[in-house]
Structure 1
Amino acid sequence: MASSAPTLGILLRKLRSRHGWTLKQMSENSGIPLSTLSKVEHDRLTLTYDKLYQVSQRLGIPISELFAEAGQDATPTVTARRSLGYVDRALHVETPNYDYYFLCTELRRKRMIPVITKIRARTSKEFGELVHHPGEEFVYVLRGTIVVNTEFYDPVVLEVGQSIYIDSSMGHAYLAAEGCDEAEVLGVMSSGGEDLQESLMSIHDPHNGQRNPAAASAIRTVRQ
């Protein structure tokens, strides 16, 4: 019989033990109140996704570590899930730099997020700070020319039909190349966590990005 999945409390205790931290030190390092951590470790309370994301960022660990044990055996399950993606039915999220069209949003807890992105920002100053998020991503240029800026590599220019695969935790930004007013790419993001889509949508300041009414409705549907 397969062993049951470890609880969040067990995972946090093992993480704390691995670092040799007291509960107080864990609280100070993670920004989670000591009393809350104590309840979580004793499985009397859980943490919201926002708090889990905070823990992963403050402690510098992949958020996937808070969902499953490294190396834990898992029995493959055939879910037979399927979803057809249409841009005109996509969840549309607007930000100063991009227009995102999240596809196949009716499927919850996806490990891959397909998204069509229209890129408008043309300079690093216009874009702002490089973004980071858990997981990896693949981007394929559909229209126009883009410049890919990354934290540890020189900028690279990609034209239609070219692609790039990167570690998403590395700072990165996609810009429209000089002479290109707007580029369009297909991106597929993946992560061990199950709330990658919400994580991606929270990267940009919600006061800057504007969601259209249909998108807001779709977001509520996804979160139900």
Structure 2
Amino acid sequence: MADDDLAQVLTAVGPRLRALRRERAITLAQLSETTGISLSTLSRLESGQRKPTLELLFPLAKAYGVPLDELVDAPPTGDPRVHPRPFTRWGKTFVPLTSRLGGLQAYKMILPGRPAGSQELEQRTHEGYDWLYVLAGRLRLVLGDHDVVLTAGEAAEFDTRTPHAFESAGPEPVEILSIFGRQGERMHVRARPKSSPSGD
């Protein structure tokens, strides 16, 4: 690899690390506790002020559950296929469907069934815009004052600065497709039209 190519790869590591951490909704403090790398080093690494080394990248790759080559953006040459590497967070299984960090992110998500007597959902907010499509099962979406149940074939989209949370609507798992972007927009909720009794 030429020196210019190497410099370009190393320069791109910091933004990729920041995008990956934000994608997983992990704080620098949480990452520091998990990896044993100091907060200042992590911050400098993400901002490009610290040169990435194997000693730093290895524990980060392990914490994120990704191979080292993903951190340095070295996919198989000429292969456009995405090779999903599922990970689990908050009890949900995420299957990444996009290989590039930053910009729009697509996931298949598998949410476990809701146990009887489970606690009320805690809504949260963050920058971004989310689009959800139910592949199988029933999804409960709590969005501000709205509390709706989506079934297979229905979709919802919303500004994630609106308090929100979602889970399986029953004891069975639910599978959804999620496309998430950082840019927040006005909230919309769209669902498949229901046929009237007359069939109109």
TM-score normalized by the length of structure 1:
0.42
Q: Which is bigger in relative contact order (C-alpha 8 A, separation at least 6)?
A: 1
